[in-house]
Amino acid sequence: MPSPQLRMLLFPAAIGLLALSASAQVSAINSPDGKPLSQRVVAYWIDAKLDTSAKTLDATEIVEYRNPSDQPVSTIPFHLYLNAFRPQSTFARESHENGTDIPHAKAEQGAIEINSIAAEGYGDLAQSMRFTAPDDGNRDDHTVMEITLPKPLLPTEAIRFHIAFHDKFPISVARNGYKRDFIMGAQWFPKVGVLWHGAWNCHQYHNDTEFFSDFGTYNVNLTLPERYVVGASGIQTGEQPNSDGTRTLSFRGEDIHDFAWAASPHFQVVDDTFDNSLGTVKLHALILASHANQSDRYLSVLKQSMQKFDEWYGPYPYKQITLIDPEPDSEFGGMEYPTLITGGTDWWQPSWVYYGLEVTVAHEFGHQYWYGMVATNEFEEPWLDEGINSYSEEKVMGSLFGQNTSVVNARRLYGSDAETLRMFYLARPDEDPIVRQGWKFVNDMSYGCIVYGKTATVLATLEAVLGEDTLRQALRTYFVRYRFTHPTGTDFLQTLVEVSGRTDLEPYFTQAIYGTDVLDYSVDSLTSGPVDWWEGKSAEGPFQTSVTLRRKGTFLFPVKLEVGFEDGSKEQVAWDGKDRWTRFSWDKPSRAVYAQIDPDQNVLLDVNSFNNSYTLRSDPTARLKLTNYWVFTQQLLAQWLSFLV
């Protein structure tokens, strides 16, 4: 292994880039005051050459990391996530436990290998490298590597690493790798962990969890054959043809916490722009030639989603959003990275099914806010990105395509995104609480149903309590206050209380977010007959009407009851829902027709809406509609869970 001094000479290209790029530079963002948007804890300069036939990559990387804490550190961990795609990894073990085995033939595995690592002023650090497994102690898991410094890095001081690494991309798995000649460059470089709340936070790669990193800048050079078209995080800053039939593309990203790219010879570029209060954003879509007929749909829903997020929560400050149309039959679809998202469609997809394309784009764009900018810890609190984002997605879809027709809108078949997300929740309402570390859910199904479906439904029910405008204002405040930082669930819930002014929400949060209580109220009985029943004059009033309500679950929630009468009059009463049952009675000149809990149908957390009403006259049409829809959403459920991440 060469000495550190010799190694410095091995990185002329990257060092040249360093000189060009000050960490405070602003060129990839529309900054309102010309300053960086984040603290920029870390800066990366990566020079990578891709072998598109071997599906490998060789790169040099400079990482400048500034200790943002008030304590010295003597170890620094790195994510090496391509090592998740080996059969010995924790990811593979957890996938196996969930009944899905990763591709494990040698040629199909993924890997990332550090060829050398040194730091200026610290010397060669290769001997101090060791794999750690902070989450499960799996010694064969190589997704986290830690180096030990010969002397501590003091608070506010920076360290500059020089690393050489080699990637082997796996065959398409978990939104990574290659499929045919399409390569998805995700989690592909050594990335520093996060020094957070007084300790390093650098989790292993898990089956269900996503990611957590610090904000910073990225300067990335990618060299690959000329025929490849590349989409990447940030903006493109250069293009250099090489004499060997390759070209080098340069990209810069600012105030982002990860960098991903996708390459295919079959991309067609379709561009558009969107103007917001901070400036112009380029919409850069790379659509596979076989899906050219879907370009308008992609661009249209992307732009509309940007408009909604801009209007509701705040401006998108980056100069570009890149949308990648993923390779068919791959696992690349429906994924978010900073300023880059992957969609998903089929050439045959009819426009009345919004599920595949529009929902995916609306969802993944939403992650630019709830993940990209509000960068919560996706390992430890996945509900804060996927859950809040699923709620935002259903609001965007409802607003764009109609509340009841936001995923399917055919003549006799329709369905809403909110109801679809509720169906996920209904499939697994109580196996895990929402607040749980992502890898500790009982299985994939529970993770998907609770993190996405239940959180969205909890927020939709909260919307009914607070009002749509108040909840929107709370989300806006949360976004504006915490963008470019790493807030927690407590920050989110405190913002909800503060903005709504409702100090009585704690029991709701305790049951819905921290607990596994199930909400189910039913109308147990409805009777309506003559007050003077012993006279035998059944057709004459007055009539006594009695309704018995029951709390079938452990979740306590206020209940609204509406009773309708034959003369068209209605009675509404409120029950605190705390006892196991209650009964309401009226003496009225006419008989009751129905009793209905939650007449506005906005307590979506109630797991059984069929027992919410009791009718003394049957009406078959409503039931028929529900049956149709239930069959349809069940079919969607399995597909969705494997699709959206």
Binding-site ranges for Zn ion (CB under 5 A): 386
CB of 151 to Zn ion, least distance (A): 42
CB of 370 to Zn ion, least distance (A): 9
Residue 211 or 521 having the CB closest to Zn ion: 211
- E-assigned strands of 289-423? 320-324, 335-337, 340-342, 408-409, 414-415
CB of 393 to Zn ion, least distance (A): 8
Residue 221 or 342 having the CB closest to Zn ion: 342
Give the count of beta carbons closer than 10 Å to the beta carbon of residue 335.
Answer: 25
The residues, ordered by sequence, that sit 6+ positions from 216 with a Cβ below 8 Å of its Cβ are 23, 38, 40, 41, 42, 43, 44, 255, 256, 257
Radius of gyration of the chain (CA): 28
Counting beta carbons within 10 angstroms of the beta carbon of residue 341, is it exposed (0 to 12), middle (13 to 18) or buried (19 or more)? Answer: buried
Residue 252 or 486 having the CB closest to Zn ion: 486
Task: Report whether 325 contacts 294 (CB < 8 A).
Answer: yes
Residue 55 or 395 having the CB closest to Zn ion: 395
Residue 309 or 614 having the CB closest to Zn ion: 309
Give Cα 519 to chain centroid, integer Å.
Answer: 25
Tokens of 188: 């592909």
CB of 429 to Zn ion, least distance (A): 20
Task: Report whether 199 contacts 274 (CB < 8 A).
Answer: no
CB of 378 to Zn ion, least distance (A): 10
CB of 389 to Zn ion, least distance (A): 5
Residue 386 or 520 having the CB closest to Zn ion: 386
DSSP letter at 265 equals T
Residue 167 or 386 having the CB closest to Zn ion: 386
Residue 4 or 343 having the CB closest to Zn ion: 343
Preceding amide of 542 cis, omega within 30: yes
Residue 228 or 355 having the CB closest to Zn ion: 355
How far apart (Å, rounded) are the C-alpha atoms in residues 167 and 190?
10
The closest alpha carbon to 59, from 131, 113, 8, 22, belongs to 113
How far are the Cα atoms of 175, 335, 399, 414, 558 from residue 298, in angstroms, in the given order?
A: 19, 15, 17, 22, 42
3: phi then psi, degrees, rounded to nearest 5: -70, 165
Give the count of beta carbons closer than 10 Å to the beta carbon of residue 576.
Answer: 10
Residue with the CB atom nearest Zn ion in the bound state: 386
How far apart (Å, rounded) are the C-alpha atoms in residues 563 and 596?
6
187: left (phi over 0), alpha (psi -120 to 50) or beta: left
560: phi then psi, degrees, rounded to nearest 5: -110, 130
Residue 386 or 463 having the CB closest to Zn ion: 386
Residue 90 or 368 having the CB closest to Zn ion: 368
CB of 32 to Zn ion, least distance (A): 28
Residue 47 or 444 having the CB closest to Zn ion: 444
Task: Report whether 332 contacts 184 (CB < 8 A).
Answer: yes
Instruction: Please tell me the total number of residues recorded for the chain in this structure.
Output: 645
CB of 367 to Zn ion, least distance (A): 6
Residue 447 or 557 having the CB closest to Zn ion: 447
Residue 208 or 432 having the CB closest to Zn ion: 208
CA-CA-CA-CA dihedral for 194, 199, 200, 206, to nearest 10:
-100
CB of 334 to Zn ion, least distance (A): 7
Residue 141 or 386 having the CB closest to Zn ion: 386
Residue 255 or 386 having the CB closest to Zn ion: 386
Tokens of 591: 């008989």
CB of 644 to Zn ion, least distance (A): 5
17: phi then psi, degrees, rounded to nearest 5: -65, -35
CB of 383 to Zn ion, least distance (A): 11
DSSP string, 146-213: EEEEEEEEPTT-EEEEEEEEEEEPPBSBTTBEEETTEEEE-S-S-EE-EEETTEEE-PPP-SS-----
CB of 344 to Zn ion, least distance (A): 12
CB of 143 to Zn ion, least distance (A): 21
CB of 386 to Zn ion, least distance (A): 5
55: phi then psi, degrees, rounded to nearest 5: 60, 45
CB of 363 to Zn ion, least distance (A): 6
CB of 418 to Zn ion, least distance (A): 16
Task: Report whether 341 contacts 186 (CB < 8 A).
Answer: no
Q: Starting at the edge strand that comes first in sequence, how are the strands of the sheet with 216-225 ordered?
A: 123-124, 111-119, 158-168, 56-66, 42-51, 216-225, 246-256, 235-241
Task: Report whether 135 contacts 439 (CB < 8 A).
Answer: yes
How far apart (Å, rounded) are the C-alpha atoms in residues 123 and 635?
58
The residues, ordered by sequence, that sit 6+ positions from 344 with a Cβ below 8 Å of its Cβ are 326, 333, 334, 356, 357, 360, 643
